[in-house]
Structure 1
Amino acid sequence: MEVDISGKCMCGAVSYRAQIIEPELGACHCSMCRRWTGGVFLGLSVMPDAMAYEGEEHIQIFQSSPWAERAFCKICGSNLFYRVTAAGEEQGIYHIGAGTMDDQMEITLSQQLFIDQKPSGYSFCETTADLTASQVEEIFGSSAIG
């Protein structure tokens, strides 16, 4: 069952519509995501052909690692998405920031990445699939992450 979602940046210059199969969040605790968000990144995976943006001229993309890029609104600075650029099964997949979604009520936390880098000052009560840095590196074939 596909679910339609929508969202936007703080100022509304960039908006999106997407279709997702699983309304599940992933949490990333890597140092880059923590710097990017000021905490943990909570993202929802969207296939490349299921994502449509309006206001693309206001999107700034930053190549944040050898295997991914991050995007934000040039006007208000809202973090919009993280996208995998490395070749393989994950290439092109968007991970949109949960905070940009118009309706966040029907999503659940299902996975945590870089669990071994999670600061001790917070934790989630959900039972999730937890991947360490080395497990994530195995998926993407790179040690230049985290």
Structure 2
Amino acid sequence: MLAVHVGNDVTFSGDAPAIFQSSDWAERGFCQRCGTHLFYHLKENGEYILPAGLFAEGEFTMNSEIFIDEKPGYYSFSNNTRKMTGEEVFAMFAGED
């Protein structure tokens, strides 16, 4: 999934998203009508991470890749990014980083 870190100033129009706690540190939001994944919300800092496909327009700079240990071996991105394994991601969110 390609996602965009958009900070904590996020508003949604239309029906309120359904929100589910997915871990001790985050929750996920979904459309109540169709189930589309709308966001990942980090509870500690209030930051939202939205799927890039939600944006009709925009130019994004990729600066990090997470769960790199689960990446298929047949692709890689051309730019240099910060790469983190799943273990490193969970340690960071758990405050161990």
Q: Tell me the alpha carbon deviations over residues 3-40 of structure 1, each in whole angstroms, 9 at most, x when there is no partner.
A: xxxxxxxxxxxxxxxxxxxxxxxxxxxxxxxxxxxxxx
1:121–1:66 distance in 2 versus 1, CA, 3 Å? farther
1:99–1:118 distance in 2 versus 1, CA, 3 Å? same
Tell me how far 1:78 sits from its aligned partner: 1.6
CA distance in 1 between partners of 2:27 and 2:33 (Å): 19
Higher helix share: 1
Q: Alignment identity in percent?
A: 39
Decide which of 41, 44, 48 is 2:4's aligned counterpart. 44
Higher strand share: 1
CA distance in 1 between partners of 2:24 and 2:71 (Å): 22
Q: How big is the alpha-carbon RMSD for the aligned residues of Structure 1 and Structure 2?
A: 2.1
Residue 78 of structure 1 is matched in structure 2 by 36
Residue 134 of structure 1 is matched in structure 2 by 87
Runs of 4+ residues deviating >3 angstroms: none
Q: Tell me the alpha carbon deviations over residues 94-124 of structure 1, each in whole angstroms, 9 at most, x when there is no partner.
A: 00110001203x1122110121122335433
Higher RCO, 1 vs 2 (CA within 8 Å, ≥6 residues apart): 1
Give the gaps of 5 or more residues in structure 1. Answer: 1-40
Decide which of 55, 78, 90 is 2:14's aligned counterpart. 55
The AA in structure 2 aligned to 1:108 is T
CA distance in 2 between partners of 1:126 and 1:75 (Å): 37
Residue 116 of structure 1 is matched in structure 2 by 69
Give the gaps of 5 or more residues in structure 2. Answer: none
Aligned residues: 96
